[in-house]
Chain A
Amino acid sequence: MYSSIESDEILIKRVKNGDCEAFNPLVERYKLALYKLMYRMVYNRDDAEDLVEEAFIKAYRSISRFEIGRPFYAWLSRLAVNNAINFLRKKKRGHLEPLEWSEHRLVAEKQNPVAMTREKMLKERINKAMAQLPQEYRTILVLRVNDELSYEEISEVLKIPKGTVMSRLARARQRLKEIFKEMEVHKHEM
């Protein structure tokens, strides 16, 4: 059994030496973060869960290529993001349907209807706006803003130069702002 406080580096060294059980704490440590990343890319719970599982298995099978000393989560997210990009290409889902409200949120809404409705509307707008972004803009924003990866890490994950990270992030933010403005216009028209 492995302690959850053992560092990524120690666990990965053990995995590299053939101890596959040392991979289990890594799955436990990063599965939720990776799920959120995948969910924000594909907007579907089942697909996101499948992509997380695939990413961990791919990571284990290519662990020999991982360089000790590098951040494991950045490497893992690169595998997962590339996998998700391929998945989206295959499904031709550049633009996604925003999520529907699940049952537990509907229950909470009943308890405090005014606040929940306002919150719900805002989040719905955010999700709609994000879903309208081109896939490469959505991915880079999620990596930077949600996952708080550095420009260097994003550059490594997406295999693009650091300068491109900066310009793509700027364009993505600009585009998101435009989408929100368009949505405001439609809201007032209605």
Chain B
Amino acid sequence: MKCDIPIELLSGYLDGVLDNKLKAAVEKHLKECESCRQELEELKRMDEYIKRQEVEEPSRDFVFALNRRVMEKIRRKPRPFLVRLTPVFAPAAIALLLFIVLINTVPRQRLIGIESRILYADMEIEREEEIFMAKPHTARAAAAKEKVYEREADRAAAPSGLVIAETEKKIDAVDEAMLNDFEVQVVQLDIPRKTVVRAIVDSTGKVLKVATGNTISPEKDTMLENRLEGQQLPPPTVAGRRTQLYVDYTAEEESND
């Protein structure tokens, strides 16, 4: 007959951990229940088996040298935390150092950014002597200007606001031909006055991006960009090296004098 006494009670009884009341109840039940007596005997047999479980003899080294090994290790003072981390962080620190050195020594293509722009108003560069000037294409620029003025002459008003004259004074700073061509390109578009036109010109002289406005993030002017994008200007050079430039052009009111 199967008995419904919990196995925990029999197991606890075997271990002698039941309180007196439970112990008496189990003993009373065992007297009456053959099945539970058998179950208890089975559990006892399992414990006997566990006790007879084979354990391999430890090695001679373990028996005779374990104390020495343990004592040697505990006599040694544990290394400070940072020293223990050295094997992990040292390679990382070296890699970081190499990265910093490489990033500062290997020449890389300069990305165009706000720091690359050259304002007409800022063309008088303080360290002028260090800048090698590209030979101004004066004839070409003059021809382009004349062309512009011819067109403008047809209009009631001249293209006042052009800062070409001012540009000529400051031409010592940046490649004149490229800037003049850019002026010509912009003037031909007849853009509203007092508009700042900004363009990114790559090192081959090709106009990449065009926008308007005098803020950090100029507004995109799709029409203007469609007209100017891809236009070929003379390659800009600064200090004798071809470079990308971020150029501004401002059409200002022409002064009466």
A interface, CB within 8 angstroms of B? 20-21, 23-24, 27-28, 31-32, 35-36, 39-40, 45-46, 48-49, 52-53, 56-57, 60-61, 99, 102, 104, 122-123, 126-127, 129-130, 141-142, 144-146, 151, 166-167, 169-171, 173-174, 176-177, 180
Contact status B50-A126, CB under 8 Å: yes
CB distance from B48 to the nearest CB of A (A): 9
Q: Contact at B52–A126, with CB atoms within 8 Å?
A: yes
Q: Is B115 part of the binding interface, using a Cβ–Cβ cutoff of 8 Å?
A: no
A167 to B62, CA, bound (A): 36
Asked if A167 contacts B58 (CB within 8 A), the reply is no
CB A83 to nearest CB in B, in angstroms, measures 14
Bound Cα distance A54, B74 (Å):
11
B contacts with A, residue count (CB < 8 A): 34
B52 to A24, Cβ gap below 8 A?
no
Chain B contacts for A130, CB-based, 8 A? 50, 53
The answer to whether the Cβ of B169 comes within 8 Å of any Cβ in the partner chain is: no
* One of B17, B49, B53, B73 near A57 (C-beta < 8 A): B73
Our pick among A32, A49, A52, A177 for the contact of B43 (Cβ within 8 Å) is A177
- Pull 19 A–B residue pairs with CB atoms less than 8 Å apart, ordered by A: A20-B74, A20-B75, A21-B71, A27-B71, A39-B56, A40-B55, A53-B69, A99-B54, A122-B52, A123-B53, A126-B54, A127-B54, A130-B50, A142-B50, A144-B15, A146-B51, A170-B7, A170-B8, A180-B49
Give A163 Cβ to nearest chain B Cβ, in Å: 9
Question: B232 an interface residue at 8 Å Cβ cutoff?
Answer: no
In the complex, the answer to whether B12 meets A126 with C-beta atoms within 8 Å is no
Alpha-carbon gap, A49 to B47, bound state (A): 25
Query: Known contacts A27-B71, A49-B62, A166-B8; is A151 also within 8 Å of B54 by CB?
Result: no
**B interface residue numbers (CB < 8 A to A):** 6-8, 10-12, 15, 17, 42-43, 46-47, 49-59, 61-62, 66-67, 69-71, 73-75, 78
Task: Tell me what chain A mostly uses at the interface: helix, strand, loop, or mixed.
Answer: helix
Closest chain B residue, CB of each to CB of A162: B17
Nearest 10 interchain pairs by C-beta: A170-B11, A145-B50, A170-B8, A170-B7, A49-B62, A123-B54, A60-B74, A126-B49, A56-B70, A45-B56
Query: Which of B15, B47, B52, B54 has its CB near the most chain A CB atoms (within 10 A)?
Result: B54
Partner of A53, one of B12, B46, B50, B70: B70
Closest to B44 in A: A173
A180 to B45, CA, bound (A): 11
- The smallest beta-carbon distance between B17 and chain A, in angstroms, is 5
Determine the chain B residues whose CB is within 8 A of the CB of A170 once the complex forms. 6-8, 10-12
B50 touching A146, Cβ below 8 Å: yes
Residue pair A169, B15 in contact (C-beta under 8 Å): yes
Chain A residues within an 8 Å CB radius of B78: 61
Q: How far is the CA of A60 from the CA of B73 in the complex (A)?
A: 10
The interface centre, meaning the residue of A61, A142, A177 with most chain B CB atoms within 10 A of its CB, is: A177
In the bound complex, do residue A141 and residue B50 qualify as a contact, i.e. CB atoms below 8 Å apart?
Answer: yes
Q: Tell me the complex Cα distance, A1–B71, Å.
A: 13
Q: When the two chains form the complex, which single residue of B47, B55, B67 contacts A39, counting CB atoms closer than 8 Å?
A: B55
| Cβ contact within 8 Å between B11 and A23 | no
Shortest distance from the beta carbon of B72 to any chain A beta carbon, whole Å: 10
Additional A-B contacts beyond A99-B54, A173-B7, A180-B46 (7; CB < 8 A): A23-B74, A45-B56, A52-B66, A126-B54, A141-B50, A173-B46, A177-B46
Question: Nearest residue in B to A163 (C-beta to C-beta)?
Answer: B8
Tell me, in angstroms, the Cα distance from A99 to B255 when the chains sit together: 104
Across the interface, B11 reaches (CB within 8 A) one of A40, A60, A122, A169, namely A169
Contacts of B75 in A (CB 8 A): 20
Cα of A53 to Cα of B66 in the assembled complex, Å:
7
Q: If the complex has contacts A35-B58, A126-B52, are A27 and B11 also in contact, measured as CB distance less than 8 A?
A: no
Say yes or no: A49 contacts B58, CB within 8 Å. Answer: yes
